[in-house]
Chain A
Amino acid sequence: MNTVLLSIGVLLAVAMIGVAWLTIRATRIATAMLAAGLVSLFASVLFLFLAAPDVAMTEAAIGSGLTTFLFFFVLGRVRGGQS
């Protein structure tokens, strides 16, 4: 039981770091934005394992939902960002 939880935690941590690397080094800016949303989503699962359901809910609704949409709104307005 405990080992299973621990291995899920390690897996989440590795996934988060990999996706965060994608965030700062992706060639396309849209990929970077989606990766940032994915980092938030993994973080909200990790919050759930840390016995913080309130924070997990906030992170899922605000951090990974609304923030990603704000990024894409602005990305659409600046025509891809590559000048």
Chain B
Amino acid sequence: MDWIAMATGFILILMGLYGALTNRNILRIIVSFSVANTGVNLVLVAVGYMRGRTAPILDEAVPMTDAVTRIIDPLPQALVLTAIVIGLGVTALMLTYAYKLYEEKGTLDISKCRDLKW
């Protein structure tokens, strides 16, 4: 399962980058970035997974005493939790600037924004 998730994550990163580099519409670029973001999160969680173990939550099923042999690594999960929330912030910021760009130029095509090109 971890191998499948990791391979899927890598493929999603590559597809997201491909979409971001080849599309012209700025909204499509942002959508592609969010797909790549999902891929990175998948890879990070898959690294922490261990076969035959369960989630890092202690209860009747996983008593305190044998937690070390029963749970998976909780640290990547905590980091991915952070990454998802920040990912939404970054996406919202990109969308805001895209909207502002549309308001200024009346287009979403980045090949028509040539102010800094010479």
Contact = CB atoms under 8 A, between A and B. Distances in A.
The A interface, classified by DSSP as helix, strand, loop or mixed, is: helix
19 contacts: A5-B1, A6-B1, A13-B7, A20-B12, A24-B15, A32-B28, A33-B31, A36-B34, A36-B35, A43-B42, A51-B55, A55-B80, A62-B87, A67-B88, A71-B30, A71-B31, A73-B95, A78-B98, A83-B107
Contacts of B1: 5-6, 9, 49-50
The B interface, classified by DSSP as helix, strand, loop or mixed, is: helix
A76 B42 CA distance: 30
Nearest to A58: B84
Contacts of B91: 67, 70
Interface of B: 1-2, 4-5, 7-8, 11-12, 15-16, 18-19, 22-23, 25, 27-28, 30-32, 34-35, 38, 41-42, 45-46, 48-49, 53-55, 57, 72, 77, 80-81, 84-85, 87-88, 91-92, 95-96, 98-99, 102, 106-109
A77 B81 contact: no
Interface of A: 5-6, 9-10, 12-13, 16-17, 20-21, 23-25, 29, 32-33, 36, 39-40, 43, 46-47, 49-55, 58-59, 62-63, 66-67, 70-71, 73-75, 77-78, 81, 83
Contacts of B98: 74, 78
